[in-house]
């Protein structure tokens, strides 16, 4: 059953004209993660590089393609976690970097901290030699249009976002049995400047523990934070539930308790995986035993050779 990698491209509703791009992006990312794992790479390398590929893909709300804050600017959040040591790294409200996930990994590897935010994160990026990119290079026409559409006084940006979320994430188990997760996002449309979502918060926007499994979520960040979604799923798995059962229980709880919609990708140490969501759609893909699985609507699990 090992190795395995599972990726998601955000819970929500994918507009028809973007569906093919989203699925193609998922397949490409899962193939990259699987190739890294098959050549002996670590779960951490696999999740970070798949997420970086998705950050570079303008079809998703992460890196290039991020949604804009109220002022029309890009502020991004990202997190990585290593299930072997529970080492983790995150950045929040970071600006002008192409790959926040690389910066999150550097926070884990090169500092004694777990999360760096805003200007401090940018200073750290400069110190690590990560080039600053022009903000414009991260902004797509689509993101700008959605920002403008949601500036009207009767707009409902949360509703619009539940429409089309697009955060990206990955979980993986490598041939050594090590587990990792990574999540990256531009956040919620027209969020207040400085808003920090679930993504960089350990236990909310991701968690990985070799003894239990790993989760990368997507959805309404404020709801995810209220119920600490990722760790809640792993708690259910510690109590003997499968990744699928644990995900469904936690997503149902989030819907009932705080009216939050979302989705997750999950693995356990044996390589059992799940891609589950309470939103209308969530593009996802998984690669295991030379098979690529993928889907976007409830009940879908298409397969083809990797």
Residues annotated in a binding site? 195-198, 218-221
Compute the Cα dihedral for 204, 9, 123, 146 and give only its sign: negative
Q: Which of residues 82-141 bind ligand ASN (CB under 6 A)?
A: none
**199 counts as catalytic:** no
Using rule CB under 6 A, residue 22 touches ligand ASN = no
Using rule CB under 6 A, residue 10 touches ligand ASN = yes
Q: Which of 27, 24, 23 is nearest to 286 (CA)?
A: 27
Using rule CB under 6 A, residue 188 touches ligand ASN = yes
Among 83, 157, 197, 269, binds ligand ASN (CB under 6 A): 197
Does residue 6 contact residue 295 with C-beta atoms inside 8 Å? no
Stretch that binds ligand ASN, among 34-42, 49-57, 160-168, 283-291 (CB under 6 A): 160-168
Using rule CB under 6 A, residue 9 touches ligand ASN = no
Whichever of 208 and 261 has its CB closer to ligand ASN, that residue is 261
Whichever of 178 and 216 has its CB closer to ligand ASN, that residue is 216
Among 66, 122, 184, 185, binds ligand ASN (CB under 6 A): 185
The span from the CA of 289 to the CA of 208, in Å, is 22
C-alpha triplet 60, 37, 289: angle, nearest 5°: 95
Among 190, 218, 279, 281, binds ligand ASN (CB under 6 A): 218
Does residue 122 contact residue 96 with C-beta atoms inside 8 Å? yes
Among 89, 187, 243, 260, binds ligand ASN (CB under 6 A): 187
Among 41, 58, 206, 221, binds ligand ASN (CB under 6 A): 221
Whichever of 22 and 178 has its CB closer to ligand ASN, that residue is 22
The span from the CA of 123 to the CA of 205, in Å, is 24
Using rule CB under 6 A, residue 157 touches ligand ASN = no
Q: Is 289 exposed, middle or buried (0-12, 13-18, 19+ CB in 10 A)?
A: exposed
Torsion of the alpha carbons at 53, 56, 62 and 64, rounded to the nearest 10: 180
Q: Which of 278, 261, 264 is nearest to 234 (CA)?
A: 264
Of the residues 50, 167, 183, 185, only one is catalytic, namely 167
Using rule CB under 6 A, residue 219 touches ligand ASN = yes
The span from the CA of 251 to the CA of 136, in Å, is 36
Containing 182, the helix (H) or strand (E) segment is strand 179-185
Binding-site sequence positions for substrate: 195-198, 218-221
| Catalytically annotated residues | 167
Residues interacting with ligand ASN, by CB under 6 A?
10, 61, 165-167, 185, 187-188, 197-199, 218-219, 221, 224
């Amino acid at each position: 059953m090992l190795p395995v990698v599972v990726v998601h491209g955000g819970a929500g509703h994918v507009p028809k004209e973007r569906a093919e791009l989203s699925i193609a992006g998922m397949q490409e990312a899962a193939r990259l993660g699987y190739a890294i794992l098959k050549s002996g790479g670590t779960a951490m390398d696999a999740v970070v590089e798949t997420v970086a590929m998705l950050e570079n893909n303008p079809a998703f709300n992460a890196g290039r393609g991020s949604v804009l804050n109220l002022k029309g600017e890009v502020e991004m959040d990202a997190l990585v976690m290593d299930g072997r040591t529970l080492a983790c790294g995150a950045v929040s409200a970071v600006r002008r970097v192409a790959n926040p996930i690389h910066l999150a990994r550097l926070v884990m590897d090169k500092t004694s901290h777990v999360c760096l935010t805003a200007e401090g994160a940018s200073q750290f990026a400069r110190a690590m030699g990560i080039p600053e990119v022009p903000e414009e290079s991260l902004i797509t026409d689509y993101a700008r249009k959605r920002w403008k559409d949601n500036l009207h006084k009767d707009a409902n940006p949360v509703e619009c976002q539940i429409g089309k979320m697009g955060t990206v994430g990955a979980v993986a188990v490598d041939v050594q049995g090590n587990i990792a997760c990574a999540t990256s996002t531009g956040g919620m449309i027209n969020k207040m400047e400085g808003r920090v979502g679930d993504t960089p918060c350990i236990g909310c926007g991701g968690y990985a523990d070799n003894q239990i499994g790993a989760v990368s979520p997507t959805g309404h960040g404020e709801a995810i934070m209220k119920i600490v979604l990722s760790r809640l799923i792993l708690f259910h798995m510690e109590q003997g539930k499968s990744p699928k059962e644990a995900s469904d229980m936690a997503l149902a709880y989030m819907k009932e308790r705080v009216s939050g919609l979302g989705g997750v990708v999950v693995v356990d140490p044996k390589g059992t995986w799940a891609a589950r969501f309470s939103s209308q759609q969530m593009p996802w893909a998984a690669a295991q035993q030379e098979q690529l699985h993928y889907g976007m609507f409830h009940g879908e699990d298409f397969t083809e050779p990797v």
